[in-house]
Amino acid sequence: MNTTFSAEELRLLGVLIEKSMTTPDGYPLTINAMVAGCNQKQNRDPVVHYDEGTISRALRNLRQKGVVDQAPPSPGARSNRYLHRATEHFGWDRRELAIMTELMLRGPQTPGELRTRAGRMTPFQDVQSVVNILEGLKAGQTRFVEVLPREPGQSANRWRHLIGDGSERQPGPHAPGSPHPAGADSAALATQSADAPTPGVQPDGDTAARLAAIESRLDELVRRVDALERRLAEPNGQD
């Protein structure tokens, strides 16, 4: 598997996988849902502002690369919907999907961060189980991830994916001099900075649990909005 992906393609692929696992009632996704998912502020680093044209181009490229398909049309549907084929394309199981998705959506992270964040998609017993999965993704015939050297002040190594073409921000949000996403306004950048974890500091158990609960609630709200949009799209949705 020598396919690589641009920053826009990685964000879109990550969103499709994420929504398939966290809000299955609203999946597959429409173009509008994909734009919203790519640009949302929670669970994203960097925060971006992609327009519909950018998403449409990324979608076309992902379809050409065989990792995204158009879903079969539903009766009365007014918009095309799309789904990912990451499991078939890469051979990842559910836990590998969750970890790779978090690396696509937020960049390099420690195993502890991945356990908390990917845990909203599928549970992980402990941090060591995450390390074991990362080692497996690293050791196969195709290396999907690599471990980064530990930086001064960090208590754990971060890991990053290896499926990008270099256009996404690497090695991650903590790298000195990392550029902010083009077009991001000051409010978005302030939110991004506030949400970014402090280098070398792991959230304690209570904080991690609260963050997981907030993320779960946000995903539930997104699921309800998606379900409402689907009902309104039905021919009798106004009755």
Give residue 208's Cα distance to chain centre.
18
**Ramachandran bin of 42, using left for φ above 0, alpha for ψ from -120 to 50, beta for the remaining angles:** beta
Contact 31, 51 (CB under 8 A): no
Cα gap 156→112, rounded to integer Å: 8
Burial of 170 (0-12, 13-18, 19+ CB in 10 A): middle
The CATH number corresponding to 7-168+202-233 among 1.10.600.10, 1.10.10.10, 2.10.109.10, 1.20.58.1610 equals: 1.10.10.10
Structural domain boundaries in the chain: 7-168+202-233
| pLDDT tens-digit profile, the chain (239 residues) | 568 999 999 999 999 999 999 999 999 999 999 999 999 999 999 999 999 999 999 999 999 999 999 999 888 778 999 999 999 999 999 999 999 999 999 999 999 999 999 999 999 999 999 999 999 999 988 999 999 999 888 889 999 999 999 887 654 444 333 334 433 343 333 334 434 444 444 444 456 556 656 766 666 676 676 667 666 655 554 44
2 Cβ neighbours under 8 A, 6+ residues apart: none
Give residue 166's Cα distance to chain centre.
17
**Is the whole model's pTM more than 0.85, yes or no?**
no
